[in-house]
Amino acid sequence: MKKRSIALLLAVALLFTMVLSACGGESNSSSQGSSSEAGTSSAAGNESSSEAGGESSAESSEAGTGNKAAAGITTEVGTPREDTLIVECQSSTDCAGQFNTYMTGTGTGFGIHQLMSAHLWEMQTAKGHQYGEVVESAESNDDFTEWTIKVRQGIKWSDGEDLNADDVVFTFNMIKENDNIGANSYTNMYIDKVEKVDDYTVKFTMTEPFPRLDQCFGITVWGCDWRIVPEHIYSTVGDVTQFKDEQPVVAGPYTVDQYDPLGSWILYKLRDDWQQSTLGVVGAAEFGYTADQVPPKYVWFRYLGDSTTKQMAMVNNEVDVLCEMTLEELQAMTEMNDKIGAWMNEFPYANADDPGAKGIVFNCGLGAPYDNADFRWGICLALDIDALSENIFSGAGRAAPIPLLNNTNVMQELYTIPMTEWLENFELDLGDGTKFKPYDTGYAERMAQKLGYEGTEEEKINTFGAGWWKHDEEAATKLLNKAGLEKVDGKWQYEGKPFTFEMSYIADSEFQVGRGVQAAFNQLQAFGFDCTITSKSSSTWSVDDTNGNYQIAGYWPSGGNYLKDIYRPFTGFDNTLIQPVGQNSQGGYGGRWNNQRVTDILHEMANLSPEKDEDKCYELATEMLQEFVKDMPVINFLSGTKFVPTNSTYWQGYPCADDPYDGPWWWWSCFKYMLPKFTAVEG
Amino acid sequence: MKFKTFFLQRVLAWALTIWIGVTFIFFIPRMFPSSPVESMIAQMTSRMGNLQPEQVQALQKQLSIQFGLEGSLWEQYVSFLWNGLLHFDFGPSLMSYPEPVGNIIGTYLPYTLFLSLFSTLVAWLLGNFIGLLAGFRKNARSSKILEGIAICIYPIPYFLVALVLQILFCFVWRVFPLQANIKLSADFATWFGSLVWASILPAISLLLLGTGWWIISMKSLAGTTAEEDFVMFARYRGLSEATIGRSYVLRNSILTQITALAMSLGGVFGGSIMTEIIFGYPGVGTLIQNAILQADYNMILGTITISIVAISTATLIVDLVYPFIDPRIRYS
């Protein structure tokens, strides 16, 4: 009996081993020709394995040219790997097959706006330059109440029709007339009429002087809600908000080839006539792309689930670009596969130009002491940026001293560095007859020394920032005393009572700000604040933010941009928008910070042209930033620091510190303009 | 007459259970600190810039109407009872507006059912069979080993098993894909093959732990039954061990397990959230998770109402069938 049991057990084990060998063996054999370093050899050709199985081998022999690293490998969706760029999408969709971005649930970031949509204006983030995509040129009358735009000629829809003024006019009128479209309210607020002048000319009549048509109705950061639709298709649809557009006709360079009806991936295919797409026409005009710079034939956007799965997929070369990981995750991946990199190939790895400086926001709507600049400055000087930065990403990231200003490379060059003299001379009145100059330009040098970073002065400032605020507990104590707080037995009190506050952060995203708040919480507790810390989901935060249901929160309160004209990201700090706590307030991003001078500046800038009145706009913008510093409504820690992994086993040419032709923003609409730079790695 | 009373009592309990359950699930999301309308406005303003207060109010009203959140809480509740509970029309998903919740659940539910039903039934059969043997012959060495294995496996969190399976079979040995890719657009054979392939690891992770539980519970039941007087009497009658095990121990021990199975079957509608997330397996569990995170009231109502109805109905069926299985109840 025993012998029989053992024999049975052995037989099962043998069978199991055979099954494993059968399934796994083939994949290893197809790994030839791929990168063999860092344990990736067995991983390399494996996409043709398992369930891709039978169908893949025939296709791969046909597809393989033998001179590409990915030759002979077929993806799970049946395309040759050497022709397929695989891009991570951050979420799956419940609306598979829905490509109309004017329907509410459409997953615009699932490759739709990156590859198919056409916008009036697009953004080049590395240079801080906005350029016309559908728009060839735009002119306004003297008081900016009328805009006449010329539509680029030569762009064709994927069904061969020309993109022209009819499409632009139809799109805007469709939005204006349909209050189920999200952009309807904003569009009607500023645009009175949109009319066709001729086949390639459109006239916008505004409801008020409106000098920033390009910034407000074009892209400055991620994307925008005005995507031009084909009039010859959408005009035949009864209700455009109920039209799924399952086989979209597009002006972008890719069309939908296949998609997962369960919503986990979409495969896009390069149009045969892609040179008549936005990328072909605008890419040649704006980037000088030539006909031989052909983008990947397929781009496969896939949702990869949790962070562990993403890491495993990239180490196994099953994805070429991921959206964002932590420093530790990136380092773990690079140790297992040396073809994986990021913006920089060594520490600090990250791109620090994401337009969202992370820090803490005070809810000024709660009254004293939160609405007191001395209190906020006291908190700021009690914080130690060196320790904060080390806690966030081990010192990686560029310090962002000016509140609300996203200290991207462009913004630092345009504003932070030119303001150095003012910042160095800026003084705080400590309330005891003494003054204190808080600006500290030594941060970059200190961090470089601590981390062993070698580089020129300019490189250090670019990497770690031009400066931040001094850590000075004595000055902080005096300012807090001035604000009415008192330290009794090592604990802060306000108006004779123990002073407590809650610090919150978003739990389900935003590693950077979460870690920053946790570190700040520890520092403030050590400084004698009896504070607590809590985490919230994004959806909870969106309500708490606008309703003012927080005391001090970690967030990225300034939706920045890359343009010299910084009016638009700060329009929310107009004090006329502020509502009482408990009501939805768009003002001050929910922080309800009320500064009359900032409001006056914003009103003045609103009527100035960023082009014609460039100097005046810059002067006012600088003054506004000075007001930010004086009042310290939020404390920025570091500029948006993103670890965006790329895998160069099969594809190369990603933007990076050595070739910064754009930022690594695969989830933004500008992604399409990077693709001609991506080339398949030779075997 | 007796059965009629029994039947009516059970049906009344069933209806009451469902009503209480769905009432809770209607009101609880509305007490969340989040709001789908505010989330939507936040998304819009992050792209378009800030809106004037009157525009925000207009947008709030417009979205509330779109999402079916207008009217008093009472009106919404009555509307939900009529449309949702009686007609299974939960309205549109707020985050995938205007796609009806029913359509989305209808897309994902079969996958959850396939995975959960299969793993639950197999685990039940396997676990009870092994548990019976172990309990019936509890002094045998093999019984002790089996019980030891079950006790070791059962407390391990199922998602940990899932993670280990994923690392070994998807990452290291690369036998299975990291994320499920079910070929819905392909022909039936390819689709079914891809479904089975995608389900193997998630099913194993659920099966291992499920089996452990059934082994432990059945061993305990069978062990107790095996010591009953009627079993001893059967032995004195000279009946074979197989007959005693099958007709005396199994039949008397299985009743509790049937009730537990019914409860488990009702629970499969909820899916196994972590298993689905780890393996990228499409299912209702993921829908519930996303709905809660995004304050999608209608989706929460839809998925959990179905779960409540399923569990209650399963319990009702067991209650009604029980007298036919267990003579003691029938004649009591």
Contact B47 A539 (CB under 8 A): no
Which residues, 6+ apart, have CB-to-CB distance to A472 below 8 Å? A381, A436, A438
A277 and A313 fall within a common domain: yes
Summarised one tens digit per residue, pLDDT across range A628-675 is 999 999 999 999 999 999 999 999 999 999 999 999 999 999 999 999
Contact A105 B46 (CB under 8 A): no
Task: State the average pLDDT over residues A107-120.
Answer: 96
How far apart, in whole angstroms, are the C-alpha atoms of residue A594 and residue A633?
9
A184 confidence band (pLDDT: 50, 70, 90):
confident
The CATH number that applies at residue A33 is: 3.40.190.10
User: What is the pLDDT, as a whole number, of residue B64?
Assistant: 81
A175 and A321 fall within a common domain: no
Contact B53 A585 (CB under 8 A): yes
Contact B197, B150 (CB under 8 A): no
Summarised one tens digit per residue, pLDDT across range A230-248 is 999 999 999 998 899 999 9
Does any CB of chain B come closer than 8 Å to the CB of residue A74?
no
Summarised one tens digit per residue, pLDDT across range A556-589 is 876 677 899 999 888 888 888 888 898 877 655 6
Q: Is residue A352 part of a domain?
A: no
Choice between A362 and B86, residue whose per-residue pLDDT is larger? A362
CA-based nearest residue to A64, from A81, A51, A50? A81
Q: How many CA atoms lie within 13 A of A413 on its CB side?
A: 13
Q: Is residue B307 part of a domain?
A: no
Angle at A87 between CA A84 and CA A93, to 5 degrees: 120
Count how many domains chain B has.
Answer: 1
Give the gap in angstroms from C-alpha A586 to the nearest C-alpha of chain B.
6
Q: Is residue A11 part of a domain?
A: no
Give the gap in angstroms from C-alpha A202 to the nearest C-alpha of chain B.
22
- Tell me, yes or no, if the pTM score tops 0.90: no
Nearest CB neighbour to A51, from listed B173, B181, B184: B181
A543 and A397 fall within a common domain: yes
User: What is the pLDDT, as a whole number, of residue A21?
Assistant: 37
User: Residues 217-246, chain A: which have Cβ within 8 Å of B?
Assistant: 222-225, 241-242
A490 and A531 fall within a common domain: yes
User: What is the pLDDT, as a whole number, of residue B48?
Assistant: 58
Summarised one tens digit per residue, pLDDT across range A490-523 is 999 999 999 999 999 988 667 899 999 999 999 9
User: What is the pLDDT, as a whole number, of residue B45?
Assistant: 67
Contact A135, A123 (CB under 8 A): no
Contact A183 B48 (CB under 8 A): yes
Beta carbon pairs, A and B, within 8 Å: 197
User: What is the pLDDT, as a whole number, of residue B144?
Assistant: 82
User: What is the pLDDT, as a whole number, of residue B269?
Assistant: 67
User: Residues 254-293, chain B: which have Cβ within 8 Å of A?
Assistant: 277-280, 282, 286-287, 290, 293
> What percent of chain A has a predicted confidence (pLDDT) above 90?
75
A508 and A651 fall within a common domain: no
A492 and A598 fall within a common domain: yes
Rg over alpha carbons for chain A, rounded to the nearest Å, is 27
**Cα dihedral sign for B217, B223, B224, B229?**
positive
For residue B167, which residues of chain A lie inside 8 Å, CB to CB? 312
Instruction: Give the chain A residue nearest B277 (alpha carbons).
Output: A305
Does any CB of chain A come closer than 8 Å to the CB of residue B52?
yes
How far apart, in whole angstroms, are the C-alpha atoms of residue A24 and residue A18?
10
Contact B194 A189 (CB under 8 A): no
Return the structure tokens found at A400: 């962002």
Q: Is residue A6 part of a domain?
A: no
Q: Which residue has the tokens 């953004």?
A: A123
Does any CB of chain B come closer than 8 Å to the CB of residue A545?
yes
Give the gap in angstroms from C-alpha A12 to the nearest C-alpha of chain B.
16
Count how many domains chain A has.
Answer: 3
Domain assignment of residue B282, given as a range: 108-292
A473 and A621 fall within a common domain: yes
Four-point Cα dihedral B199, B201, B207, B212, nearest 10:
-170
**3-class SS of residue B130:** helix
Summarised one tens digit per residue, pLDDT across range A587-605 is 556 789 999 999 999 999 9
User: Residues 135-194, chain B: which have Cβ within 8 Å of A?
Assistant: 163, 166-167, 170-171, 173-182, 184-185, 193-194
Q: Strand A265-270 to strand A201-206: parallel, antiparallel, or no bridges (unpaired)?
A: unpaired
Q: Is residue B251 part of a domain?
A: yes
Return the structure tokens found at A44: 């390399």
Give the gap in angstroms from C-alpha A101 to the nearest C-alpha of chain B.
12
Among A249-263, B60-74, B122-136, B272-286, the range with the most confident prediction by mean pLDDT is: A249-263
For residue B62, which residues of chain A lie inside 8 Å, CB to CB? 179-180, 185
Contact B249, B137 (CB under 8 A): no
Q: In what order do the strands lie in the sheet with A201-206?
A: A135-140, A146-151, A201-206, A191-198
A371 and A507 fall within a common domain: yes
B50 confidence band (pLDDT: 50, 70, 90):
low
Contact A577 B174 (CB under 8 A): no
* Least confident piece of the model among A335-339, A361-365, A510-514, B66-70: B66-70
Which run of H or E residues covers position B250? Answer: none
User: What is the pLDDT, as a whole number, of residue A25?
Assistant: 35
Task: Give yes or no for residue A51 having a pLDDT over 50.
Answer: no
Summarised one tens digit per residue, pLDDT across range B170-223 is 999 999 999 988 888 889 999 999 999 999 999 998 888 888 889 989 988 998
A223 and A155 fall within a common domain: yes
Task: Give yes or no for residue A36 having a pLDDT over 70.
Answer: no
* Least confident piece of the model among A14-18, A129-133, A493-497, B324-328: A14-18
Angle at A299 between CA A298 and CA A300, to 5 degrees: 115
Q: Is residue B39 part of a domain?
A: no
For residue A261, which residues of chain B lie inside 8 Å, CB to CB? 107, 184-185
Mutate to test the interface with B, among A48, A190, A309 (most CBs of B within 10 A): A309
Q: Is residue A284 part of a domain?
A: yes
Does any CB of chain B come closer than 8 Å to the CB of residue A587?
yes
Q: Is residue B85 part of a domain?
A: no
The CATH number that applies at residue B227 is: 1.10.3720.10
User: What is the pLDDT, as a whole number, of residue B46?
Assistant: 63
**Cα dihedral sign for A508, A510, A513, A518?**
positive
User: Residues 76-95, chain B: which have Cβ within 8 Å of A?
Assistant: 93, 95
Contact A50 B96 (CB under 8 A): no
Return the structure tokens found at A7: 């024999």
Contact B33 A579 (CB under 8 A): no
Q: Which residue has the tokens 């149009």?
A: A271
Domain assignment of residue A157, given as a range: 118-245
ipTM over 0.95: no
Choice between A479 and A127, residue whose per-residue pLDDT is larger? A479
A455 and A487 fall within a common domain: yes
Does any CB of chain B come closer than 8 Å to the CB of residue A316?
yes
Instruction: Give the chain B residue nearest A589 (alpha carbons).
Output: B50
A43 confidence band (pLDDT: 50, 70, 90):
very low
Does any CB of chain B come closer than 8 Å to the CB of residue A565?
no
User: Residues 472-511, chain A: which have Cβ within 8 Å of B?
Assistant: 508
Does any CB of chain A come closer than 8 Å to the CB of residue B103?
no
A542 and A521 fall within a common domain: yes
Choice between A347 and A40, residue whose per-residue pLDDT is larger? A347
A612 confidence band (pLDDT: 50, 70, 90):
very high
User: What is the pLDDT, as a whole number, of residue A45?
Assistant: 37
The CATH number that applies at residue A429 is: 3.10.105.10
A478 and A586 fall within a common domain: yes
Q: Strand A84-89 to strand A298-303: parallel, antiparallel, or no bridges (unpaired)?
A: parallel
Instruction: Give the chain A residue nearest B57 (alpha carbons).
Output: A584
Q: Is residue B158 part of a domain?
A: yes
